[in-house]
Amino acid sequence: MARNSNPAVSSRTHLHRPRRSRRGEVQMRRIEDKSSRQVTFSKRWNGLIKKARELAVLCGVDVIFSSTGRLYEYSSGDRCG
């Protein structure tokens, strides 16, 4: 058996290394239960607001919030008519 040219890597290291399982893809579909849909929306919305605040700090950009800290309107490019 040929030796590995890199002395830092043993020839046994890569033979029995278990593979990590990857996250499965999540299918995007409408949540039919109205209550579950609202809970999911609220959680995701709060996460987006947190990221918007972080973006404002890290990149020095303006993100517009009301005096109470709420973002009232957001429009993505594909929904503008």
The residue among 10 and 46 whose pLDDT is bigger is: 46
In this structure, what DSSP letter does residue 72 have? -
Report pLDDT for 59: 82
SS3 49: helix
Neighbours of 77 (CB within 10 A): 5
Q: How many CB atoms lie within 10 A of CB 15?
A: 7
pLDDT of 13: 53
Give 49: exposed, middle or buried? Use CB within 10 Å, 0-12, 13-18, 19+: middle
Per-residue pLDDT tens over the stretch 37-81: 999 988 888 888 888 888 878 888 777 777 777 766 555 444 444
